[in-house]
């Protein structure tokens, strides 16, 4: 039999001293055997076809068709993703719990989808990994107190950063998160809050901020009374204003409070506040509304507002962005208001925070989310910080049956407290990080580099010969949360990393030392871009030359080059942007300025040197230009 003879030749080759052979003889023999094996296979196919009564000529045609199909397959079609970390949370933007089960909670992420824990945060499971229809950005989650199997999730996070993922409507589960269906409001794009009736799982309110970068769309306050089969817009101001908060009075389901917010973004500016912003109340379940103004509330332009009714029907808290903003309180059902606390800790970056929550049982206890999470037990007069696992707090849900049980959403994930906020669970078990700009080094196994939003840079091993990839296999490597991270091609122990505002560092893995090496060491926070010498935006390009490992490029509005590890830099280009000064104004709007680099405009956003031709460098700008040089920047 020819097959047996072929097997004999392979066996003889395996016993030969030329297998494997550096001279290549073994390789040549193997190639010859493979060709013979292919010939034998085709012969067998032809024989089999003939025995089956099929013309022998059909076999080569079938083989040719199979080969053609294989050649048309995607090159990476057979590859699958595997999770390697980092196992630490990203921004949690919508949280909720089950009142009757203090171990079960839901957490929606800025771009990591919806997650659930049934063991008080010890482990989390993703709910939307196999439900790609829903946007991975979650703005709000509510669980029906009367039927905890019913869960609603509104997509599009309510902290409208310049780099947010857009939502695509509201989704519903009737089996505690196992399956989901789309139920409407596709055009809302950004949802600040949702509220659900304590007794009717079909009655839900959605506070839709609406599209950030344009007017119109589905914005305002929406209500459904049939579980999402139909929606009605119950409160609208104009095409520039959406709803950011909504809360049902726990003592009266017909009394609803809503906060309207005029907010708008362009790539070069964010504007919070305007005549559309305001605080509203309904006394008939959301059908008609009255605007609450005067009587002690701040006058003039208002911005973002958070509202929290309490277990005392006469007491309501409102956290208001305004010239005379701060925490306001009414103790007579809204007839009059008083400024209780105007501390800057509760008013900074108002567009990003401004969230207030009341204890469901004790009207003296009130919580404010900001850079830190704050708790008051004296009606808002004084506060103390709660020891969250991570800063930048946004959301809070307090169990109405037992207020010791709380879940918080912050920029590091979701944390749970079982003692009223005294201690919290860690967030190193939520692989929901947002990572900027992946790169790899030349090590074996290779390392992967990136920067995690709201956290640090990261270098993580692609494999661990001793077992699973864990925290022992990754580390921070300088730079900051938003930058490019690239290893030195000559020595992977040296890592160059950037961040917003022009920060560039060199990190040595052997010593743990970080050195600033940027070409322009100047604090840019708070400055209008037009007043800066160089315009460093949120995530500036860093790029090693593929032709000379000593050459490192960096870009603001011009291209910088160093050949000595950042000890000195030269500018090799003119300003490659449109340099439109009207798009370089101070950002934030009429109330709270906010210049943190993400709105810095007229910058080089991408940069690369051709791997084929030395000196051919391409630059792409955020204002729509593509620039090129063929001589390393001379022209």
- State how far the Cα of 172 lies from the Cα of 381, in Å rounded to an integer: 39
**Among 465, 496, 458, which residue's Cα sits nearest to residue 86?**
458
Confidence of residue 471 (pLDDT cuts 50, 70, 90): confident
| Residues near 472 by beta carbon (within 8 Å), at least 6 away in sequence | 464
pLDDT at 202: 98
Q: How far is the CA of 346 from the CAs of 245, 342, 357, 414, 615, in angstroms?
A: 17, 7, 13, 21, 51
- State how far the Cα of 482 lies from the Cα of 600, in Å rounded to an integer: 14
For tokens 């439900």, name the residue: 131
pLDDT at 63: 58
DSSP 588: B
How high does pLDDT run on average in the chain?
Answer: 90
Confidence of residue 259 (pLDDT cuts 50, 70, 90): very high
Q: Which residues of 280-289 are buried (b: 16+ CB within 10 A; e: fewer)?
A: bbbeebbeeb
**Among 153, 193, 180, 149, which residue's Cα sits nearest to residue 169?**
153
Q: Which residues pair with 243 in a beta bridge?
A: 260
pLDDT at 16: 39
Comparing 66-75, 223-232, 298-307, 491-500, the range with the smallest average pLDDT is 66-75
The alpha carbon dihedral of 373, 377, 380, 381 has a sign of negative
pLDDT at 68: 60
Mean pLDDT confidence for 288-299: 98
| pLDDT of residue 100 exceeding 50 | yes
Mean pLDDT confidence for 492-499: 97
Confidence of residue 457 (pLDDT cuts 50, 70, 90): very high
Q: 392 with 69: CB under 8 angstroms?
A: no
Report domain extents, the chain: 2-69, 92-417, 435-629
| pLDDT of residue 312 exceeding 80 | yes
What whole-number percentage of the chain has pLDDT above 90? 83
pLDDT at 76: 83
Q: At what angle do helices 2-15 and 25-51 cross, to 10 degrees?
A: 160
| Residues near 228 by beta carbon (within 8 Å), at least 6 away in sequence | 152, 170, 172, 183, 184, 204
Mean pLDDT confidence for 594-619: 96
Mean pLDDT confidence for 211-226: 97
Query: Quick check: helix, strand or coil at residue 36?
Result: helix
Structure token pair of residue 564: 């000595």
Mean pLDDT confidence for 376-397: 97
**Residue with the larger pLDDT of the pair 11 and 559:** 559
Q: How far is the CA of 509 from the CAs of 55, 85, 153, 504, in angstroms?
A: 67, 20, 43, 16
Comparing 32-41, 484-493, 503-512, 556-565, the range with the smallest average pLDDT is 32-41
Phi then psi dihedrals of residue 537, to 5 deg: -95, -155
Q: 479 with 451: CB under 8 angstroms?
A: yes
- State how far the Cα of 121 lies from the Cα of 414, in Å rounded to an integer: 8
Mean pLDDT confidence for 392-398: 98
| pLDDT of residue 562 exceeding 70 | yes
| pLDDT of residue 527 exceeding 70 | yes
Q: Which residues pair with 241 in a beta bridge?
A: 262
| Residues near 67 by beta carbon (within 8 Å), at least 6 away in sequence | none
| pLDDT of residue 157 exceeding 80 | yes
Comparing 82-86, 191-195, 290-294, 476-480, the range with the smallest average pLDDT is 82-86
| Residues near 496 by beta carbon (within 8 Å), at least 6 away in sequence | 478, 479, 485, 486, 487, 488, 504, 505, 506, 507, 517, 542, 552, 566
Structure token pair of residue 402: 């037992």
Mean pLDDT confidence for 414-430: 96
Q: Which residues of 499-512 are buried (b: 16+ CB within 10 A; e: fewer)?
A: bbbbbbbbbbbeee
pLDDT at 1: 39
What would the DSSP string read from start to end of 68-87? HHHHHS-TTTT---------
Cα 478 → chain centroid: 21
How many helices, marked H, and strands, marked E, lie in the chain? 3, 43
DSSP 29: H
Confidence of residue 466 (pLDDT cuts 50, 70, 90): confident
| Residues near 39 by beta carbon (within 8 Å), at least 6 away in sequence | none
| pLDDT of residue 3 exceeding 90 | no
Confidence of residue 29 (pLDDT cuts 50, 70, 90): very low
| pLDDT of residue 326 exceeding 80 | yes
Structure token pair of residue 243: 């709803």
DSSP 609: E
Q: Which residues pair with 295 in a beta bridge?
A: none
pLDDT at 26: 40
pLDDT at 127: 98
| pLDDT of residue 22 exceeding 50 | no
Q: 124 with 117: CB under 8 angstroms?
A: yes
Bridging pattern class, strands 457-461 and 474-475: antiparallel
Q: Which fold is adopted by the domain 435-629?
A: Methylamine Dehydrogenase; Chain H (2.130.10)
| pLDDT of residue 278 exceeding 70 | yes
**Among 488, 485, 526, which residue's Cα sits nearest to residue 503?**
485
For tokens 């309110």, name the residue: 205
Mean pLDDT confidence for 541-552: 98
**Residue with the larger pLDDT of the pair 25 and 480:** 480
| Residues near 93 by beta carbon (within 8 Å), at least 6 away in sequence | 108, 109, 110, 137, 138, 139, 157, 158, 159, 394, 395, 409
The alpha carbon dihedral of 564, 613, 493, 82 has a sign of positive
pLDDT at 33: 36
Q: 161 with 154: CB under 8 angstroms?
A: no
Q: How far is the CA of 198 from the CAs of 99, 103, 147, 202, 203, in angstroms?
A: 11, 20, 9, 10, 9
Structure token pair of residue 78: 């057979």
Phi then psi dihedrals of residue 562, to 5 deg: -130, 145
User: Which CATH number does 92-417 carry?
Assistant: 2.130.10.10
What would the DSSP string read from start to end of 454-516? TS-EEEEES--TTSS--GGGEE--SS-TTS-EEEETTEEEEEEEE-GGG-EEEEETTTTEEEE
Do the domains 92-417 and 435-629 sit in the same CATH topology, yes or no? yes
pLDDT at 499: 95
Q: Which helix (H) or strand (E) holds 41?
A: helix 25-51
Comparing 7-16, 107-116, 234-243, 563-572, the range with the smallest average pLDDT is 7-16
The alpha carbon dihedral of 566, 569, 573, 579 has a sign of positive
Cis peptide before 445 (omega within 30 of 0): yes
For tokens 């955020």, name the residue: 622
Query: Quick check: helix, strand or coil at residue 447?
Result: strand
pLDDT at 497: 98
Q: How far is the CA of 604 from the CAs of 558, 618, 628, in angstroms?
A: 7, 10, 12
């Amino acid at each position: 039999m020819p097959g047996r003879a072929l097997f004999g030749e392979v066996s003889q080759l395996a016993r030969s001293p030329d297998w494997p052979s550096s001279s290549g003889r073994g390789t040549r023999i193997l190639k010859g055997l493979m060709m013979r094996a292919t010939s034998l296979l085709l012969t067998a196919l032809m024989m089999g076809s003939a025995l089956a009564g099929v013309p022998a000529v059909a076999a080569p045609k079938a083989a040719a068709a199979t080969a053609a199909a294989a050649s048309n397959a995607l090159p990476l079609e057979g590859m699958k993703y595997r999770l390697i970390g980092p196992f630490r949370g990203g921004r949690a933007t919508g949280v909720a719990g089950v009142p009757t089960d203090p171990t079960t909670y839901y957490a929606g992420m800025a771009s990591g989808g919806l997650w659930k824990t049934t063991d008080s945060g010890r482990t989390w499971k993703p709910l939307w990994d196999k439900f790609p229809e829903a946007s991975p950005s979650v703005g709000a989650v509510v669980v029906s107190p009367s039927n905890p199997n019913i869960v609603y999730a509104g997509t599009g996070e309510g902290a409208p950063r310049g780099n947010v993922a857009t939502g695509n409507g509201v989704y519903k589960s009737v089996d505690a998160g196992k399956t989901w269906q789309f139920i409407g409001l596709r055009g809302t794009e950004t949802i600040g809050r949702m509220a659900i009736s304590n007794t009717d799982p079909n009655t839900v309110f959605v506070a839709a901020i609406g599209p950030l970068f344009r007017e119109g769309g589905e914005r305002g306050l929406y209500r459904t009374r049939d579980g999402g089969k139909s929606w009605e817009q119950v409160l609208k101001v104009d095409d520039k204003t959406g709803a950011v908060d909504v809360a049902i009075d726990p003592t009266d389901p017909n009394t609803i409070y809503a906060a309207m917010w005029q907010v708008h973004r362009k790539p070069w500016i964010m504007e919070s506040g305007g005549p559309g912003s305001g605080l509203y109340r309904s006394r008939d379940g959301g059908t008609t509304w009255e605007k609450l103004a005067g009587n002690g509330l701040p006058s003039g332009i208002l911005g973002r507002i958070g509202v929290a009714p309490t277990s005392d029907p006469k007491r309501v808290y409102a956290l208001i962005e305004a010239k005379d903003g701060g925490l306001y309180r009414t103790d007579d059902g809204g007839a009059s208001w008083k400024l209780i606390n105007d501390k800057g800790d509760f008013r900074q970056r108002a567009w990003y925070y401004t969230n207030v929550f009341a204890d469901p049982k004790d009207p003296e206890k009130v919580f404010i989310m900001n850079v830190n999470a704050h708790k008051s037990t004296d009606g808002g007069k004084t506060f103390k910080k709660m020891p969250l696992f991570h800063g930048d707090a946004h959301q809070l849900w307090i169990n109405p049956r037992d207020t010791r049980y709380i879940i918080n959403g912050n920029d590091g994930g979701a944390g749970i407290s079982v003692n009223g906020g005294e201690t919290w669970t860690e967030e190193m078990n939520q692989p929901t990080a947002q990572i900027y700009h992946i790169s790899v080094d030349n090590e074996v196994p290779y390392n992967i580099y990136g920067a995690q939003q709201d956290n640090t840079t990261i270098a993580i091993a692609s494999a661990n010969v001793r077992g699973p990839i864990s925290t022992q296999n990754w580390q921070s490597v300088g730079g900051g949360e938003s930058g490019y991270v690239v290893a030195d091609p000559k020595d992977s122990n040296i890592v160059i990393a950037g961040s917003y505002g022009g920060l560039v560092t060199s990190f040595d893995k052997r010593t743990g030392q970080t050195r600033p090496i940027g070409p322009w060491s100047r604090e840019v926070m708070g400055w209008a871009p037009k007043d800066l010498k160089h315009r460093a935006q949120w995530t500036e390009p860093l790029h090693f030359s593929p032709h000379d490992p000593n050459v490192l490029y960096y870009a603001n509005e011009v291209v910088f080059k160093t050949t000595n590890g950042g000890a000195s830099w030269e500018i090799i280009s003119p300003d490659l942007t449109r340099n439109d000064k009207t798009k370089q104004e101070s950002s934030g709007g009429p109330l709270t300025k906010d210049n943190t680099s993400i709105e810095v405009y007229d910058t080089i956003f991408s940069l690369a040197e051709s791997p084929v031709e030395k000196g051919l460098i391409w630059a792409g700008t955020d204002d729509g230009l593509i620039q090129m040089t063929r001589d390393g920047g001379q022209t």
